[in-house]
Amino acid sequence: MRLYALAVYLFLYIPIGIIALFSFNAGRYAAQLQGFSTKWYGIALNNPFVVDALHTSAVVAATSSTLATIFGTLAALALPSVRGPLRTIIDALIYIAVMVPGIVIGIATLIALVTVFGWLNPLLVALWPFAEAAPQLSMGYGSLVAAHGLFAIALVIIIVRARIAGMDRSLIEASDDLGATPWGTFRQVTLPQIFPGMLAGFLLSFTFSFDDFIIAFFVAGSKTTLPIYVFSSIRRGVTPEINAIGTMVLAVSLGLLVIAQFILQRGRRPTT
């Protein structure tokens, strides 16, 4: 079993290690290692198309993960008061949102948004009171944030709800007995206890949104995220610049995942 596990890990991580290694290639060809150099990192960071795609990915990831953290936390706080069949249905919908393949989410979101835009755009034209042309709803930042945010909300709910389940309820009861207001109890007692889960949910949501290609491919419209740029570039051939971009994205993603895992583990430790 140990040899089997080792073989699986090698199969998964050796290709990633090769990409990282060849990102330091001094030559022009991705598959031929001709010395070591960091020049491709400089070329990638000075490429205006890469910078623009990076900016789009960062804005979408930050916005969608922030919204998901806020609404996911509110939902996780409200769920304990829900009982009966309705609770079962809500729990099923939350886990289904996480388990559904990304391509299904992308296609469904595309169809839903196109249908809604088809209804709203003629209405905007009819009700627009100014002489200028009425604005038209289309794919872009909004559709990316909506698609990523809806998935991330389910992720945040699961993480924060697990943190709420392990929360020390006696502190909340003591705060109520001492005459604190509901807002005061939440701000001084509940929020500090669930904050590690909220922060971990934010970081995981940010990582998902920043790395996502499948959903973004369907709903990005004229916007280009970093994964979409990489996909478009490798259709013309893989270069050390693509390897450098992939290595940087990998480093950021792994860093955020490690931080999120550290926060979750630390939040689970019993306090004395």
37-55 pLDDT tens trace: 888 888 888 889 988 998 9
78-122 pLDDT, tens digit per residue, is 888 888 888 888 888 888 888 888 888 889 889 999 999 889 888
Alpha helices in 2-84 (DSSP H): 2-22, 39-45, 48-78
User: Does residue 105 sit within a domain?
Assistant: yes
CATH of the domain at 108: 1.10.3720.10
User: Does residue 149 sit within a domain?
Assistant: yes
Work out the average pLDDT over 239-251.
Answer: 83
Query: Sorting pLDDT into bands at 50, 70 and 90, what band is 266?
Result: low
User: Does residue 114 sit within a domain?
Assistant: yes
Q: Which H or E run includes 133? A: none
**Domain extent for 190:** 48-268
- Residue 159 pLDDT > 60, yes or no? yes
Model's pTM, two decimal places?
0.81
Residue whose C-alpha is closest to residue 161's, from 254, 269, 82: 82
User: Does residue 16 sit within a domain?
Assistant: no
- Backbone phi and psi for residue 36, each to the nearest 5 degrees, phi listed first: -110, 135
User: Per mean pLDDT, which range of 27-31, 109-113, 126-130 is the poorest?
Assistant: 27-31
Q: 25 forms bridges with which residues in the sheet?
A: 36
- Backbone phi and psi for residue 25, each to the nearest 5 degrees, phi listed first: -70, 135
User: Does residue 31 sit within a domain?
Assistant: no
**Domain total in the chain:** 1
Query: Distance between CA atoms of 272 and 264, rounded to whole angstroms?
Result: 18
Report the pLDDT value the prediction gives residue 174, as an integer from 0 to 100: 78
User: Does residue 24 sit within a domain?
Assistant: no
User: Does residue 1 sit within a domain?
Assistant: no
User: Does residue 145 sit within a domain?
Assistant: yes
- Residue 272 pLDDT > 50, yes or no? no
Are the C-beta atoms of residues 157 and 76 closer than 8 Å to each other?
Answer: yes
Are the C-beta atoms of residues 94 and 78 closer than 8 Å to each other?
Answer: no
